[in-house]
Amino acid sequence: MISSAEPATPFAPGARIEVRDAEWMVRTCTPIRPRVFKITAVGVSEFVRDEDAVFFTDIEHPVQLRPEDTQLVADTSSAFARSRLYLESVLRRTPLPQSERGLALADRFLLDPLTYQQRPAELALKGLRPRILLADVVGLGKTLEIGLILAELIRRGRGERILVVTPQQVLEQFQHELWTRFAIPLVRLDSVGIERIQRDIPAGRNPFLYYKRVIISVDTLKNQGKYGQHLENMQWDAVVIDESHNLINEGNLRNKLARLLSKRTDALLLASATPHNGDAKSFAELINLLDPAAIADPKDYSASDIDHLYIRRTKISDEVSDHISAKWPDRGPSVAVRSPATPREEAIFAELAEVWLPRPDGAGASVVDHDRRLFPYTLAKAFLSSHVALGATITKRLKKAEEPREIEALNDLAFLVQQMDDEDSAKRRALVDELKRIGVKAKGTMRAVVFSESIPTLEWLAETVPAELGLAADQVQVMHGGFSDQRQQEIVEDFSLADSKVRLLFTGDVASEGVNLHRQCHHLIHYDLPWSLIRIEQRNGRIDRYGQEHQPQFRALILTSQTKGALDDTTVAEKLLRREEAAHRSLGTAEAVTREFTAKKEEDRLIQDLLHGKSVEESLAEAPPVDIMAQLLGAVEQGEARAEVRRARVPKLFGSTEEFVREALRTVCPDLRIDDDGELLAFEPPGDLVHRLSALPASYLRTHKIKERMKVTFDRDLAQRKLDEARRTKTMWPDIAYLSDLHPMVEWLVDKVQVQLVRRAAPVIAAKVDEPTFLVQGIYSNALGQPTVVEWMAISGLPGAPVVRDMTEVLAQAGVGPKMINTNRAPGLDRLTPLIEPAVAAARRHLDEQRDRHDDEVARPLREYDGQLEMWERQSLESLAGTSNGTKKRSQVNDTVADQKRLLQSLETTGEPLLRILTVLEGDS
């Protein structure tokens, strides 16, 4: 095994320390440079109680409290509530050990417990570090999968600092899901959030230190000039990058951002329904962010080399289809609505065919030369969107055109466009008819979303269509990439509300990635169709996704022409519509058809094939051969894909979170006036609890007056009803929160319980035991402060023949619970105090034995990765032999090996253990 050169982490999570003559409880302890550690802690003693603090060991010199110095005290609370709460709080606050790979919280949240959505968390916890690519196709719920992983990391003490990076239009949607489903609050740094930062924190302060869990758009964050220094100085527990396929192009700002973040975080979660561009080398670059030693030769690797780093399923995958039928109806057919061109549209078709587009028989020629031969297809596609889009394209081109022949042809085409008015558009008339048939009207409830690739088309439709449906201005919305992040979020949110007035949304493909439009809508119309199966699928996925209550309905407006040689919608668009539908039903995704894997590559290759006289069918039939990228599509159906997700062993004293919270409120918050009807708790939150909610949107806190009256529930059905009701209102955010284990109120109560106990004290309680039994917590950690061995010990037989048993089993046998009766009989402190040292000694021996027993379990994956690293180093160096840039590449390989070796060393069990006497049980007779 690798020998550790790093110093041990001196203070394990949960340890009590003395700093500045006050007692603090350690939350995290992480190295920042040799022999210097950063400690985050919460105050325990009187004058610092509940205060958060950060200490650096080279400045503060904290002293850890020795277990041998523990002072035993009586517990005078009813039913020994303080002691029981304290034990439960320690159990909850202590992170699960590194060796525990099972899921601890999978069923504790406001979502359907679907095995397929829990599977990524299982995969993430299996790895050396939680670093995976979530590549499920559109609609399966990647946000929920991310939430489950983050929840498990938080429970393990590995999710204190979280950074989520998403496209700007889904910021609030993502934030909303993580709060309402998991009770994980994220500070949203959109344009409004950034203004808030500038008001709330001193100039020059690192906002990522001020707010520990943040969600920000990739476009905002990639501004290295503004955030580069802050990012360089940060270390994250977990980074999430949504729509991560946008990171692939090496050298662009997003790629540079991703490479920086990958080095500054323990856990890295990448999410994308289209995770690669079909190029094995580019995909290797993405995988390299997760594990730099996974792929030795980016041009030659197999799916099995990286199957521990990604997961991908489709709607027809067995594990998915087994669970979704009740909450995700099969999609309806994709209906092609043919619209015969009007005479003036036929005139434009004729002009395009005769002057601009090359003819299939080779006769005639385009007005543009070979270097600009793609431009006629730009004109044709613009016209298939609308004459308005064509006019805008012509105007833009005229500003750059230099050839007299092209300028003349553009002017001729512009003249024909000018002859058209709104009534000359066949597709526009078909759109109005379809919307009427669907039932979109001013006093109706039906909604529809209309997609177009062209901004001029969207704006024109929004101006001319609503009046024919009797819709008022506030019943129609337009969204495209030219809008601010805040405006895009507002539009998406408004369309998702049941009580919103909006009945019609005209949107561009800015909404085709990540945006949920299915809450109140199941009708989607393609006014024009992208020449890409992937983009069609992405659009359809906005309403065809888990949680859709109605059968998704799709229509595409197909402009047809009688002009010989015309490139109308039957030539390309209608054929792609049919092929996407067939691929979705048979394969679960359209990617496998063209195997180009990006919308742009699909469209570029198709146009090139059309230029060479091929049909759409011929182009699709000549897809690239099956390779590593195609293998990735089916790899997840192997192995244990349908086995039950393993559950973690989580020790607890209370039967449920509800029991703990109710007991804690009665015991440590006796003056808090609470209205409790059995389902709902309502009260005025104290200031220290309000502070923990400051990450949430100010509008949400203000609308529901959370700071004045907080409402929470343990009732899952009530919470879901309130969430559904909120979606029918302008707020979107429910006024009643579901109390999951991660809710700030639960964490607040855990802290309040823990700080009730005085310094160096452990309570004594009367229970059904035959002899004094010391309950002791024992932890070994790695150099990052992450527990590797956690033992909960009950030690009896003192002083001469100590017996160590499992603490939770002893607590159950001893009848420690709410039915206990505290007679306030004085405990035998004089008899128990001399047993402290032998109890600690017995606990230390047992913990060392358990470390030896668990050491192989902890060390085995480290050894395996060490062997993989050596093989990767050898293969990488061999692949560089004789290359021109070999020296630079060899240096990069050496640096990677050194970095990974340091990682392995930091994950080894090291240093002295934490031992803490929690409680002493003595006989109740």
20-52 burial string, b = 16+ CB within 10 Å, else e?
Answer: eebbbbbbbbbbeeeeebbbbbbbbeeebbbee
Do residues 641 and 318 make contact, with C-beta atoms less than 8 angstroms apart? yes
Q: In angstroms, how far is the first alpha carbon of the chain from the final one? A: 52
- Token pair, residue 378, equals 């730009």
Q: What is the pTM of this model?
A: 0.81
**b vs e for 664-675, b when ≥16 Cβ sit within 10 Å of the residue's Cβ?**
bbebbbeeeeee
Maximum CA pair distance of the chain? 109
Nearest to 19 by CA among 49, 64, 80, 50: 64
- Give the pLDDT of residue 2: 38
Phi, psi of 406 (to 5 degrees): -70, -40
* Residue 426: strand pairing partners: none
- Label residue 213 by pLDDT band (50, 70, 90): very high
pLDDT, tens digit, for every residue of 175-186?
999 999 999 999
Q: What is the mean pLDDT of residues 511-540?
A: 89
Phi, psi at 397, each rounded to 5°? -70, -35
Average pLDDT over residues 100-104: 93
Tens of pLDDT along 308-331?
898 988 887 888 887 776 678 888
- Give pLDDT tens digits for 608-648: 888 888 888 888 777 655 455 555 544 444 334 467 899 99
Lowest pLDDT segment from 90-94, 379-383, 919-923: 90-94
CA dist 493 and 174 (Å) reads 11
Place of tokens 């088309």: 457
Give tens-digit pLDDT for 408-464: 999 999 999 999 999 999 999 999 999 999 999 999 999 999 999 999 999 999 999
With 60 as the cut, is the pLDDT of residue 804 above it? yes
Q: How confident is the model at residue 755 (pLDDT cuts 50, 70, 90)?
A: confident
Please list the residues that pair with 762 across neighbouring strands.
72
Of 44-58, 587-601, 701-715, 726-740, highest mean pLDDT: 701-715
Cα torsion for 170, 174, 176, 179, to the nearest 10°? -170
Higher pLDDT, 556 or 210: 556
Residue 638, pLDDT score: 38
CB 629 within 8 A of CB 276: yes
Contact assessment for residue 16 and residue 790, using Cβ atoms and an 8 Å cutoff: no
Supply 404's token pair. 């007299």
What pLDDT score does 635 carry? Answer: 42
**In this predicted model, what pLDDT tens digit does every residue of 466-490 receive, in sequence order?**
999 999 999 999 998 888 777 887 8
Residue 837, number of CB atoms within 10 A of its CB: 15
Query: What does the pLDDT look like over 325-364, one tens digit per residue?
Result: 667 888 899 999 999 999 999 999 999 999 998 765 545 5
Query: Could you read off the pLDDT of 14-46 as tens digits, one per residue?
Result: 677 889 888 887 877 877 778 888 888 877 676
SS3 95: coil
Q: Kindly report the average pLDDT of the chain as a whole number.
A: 86
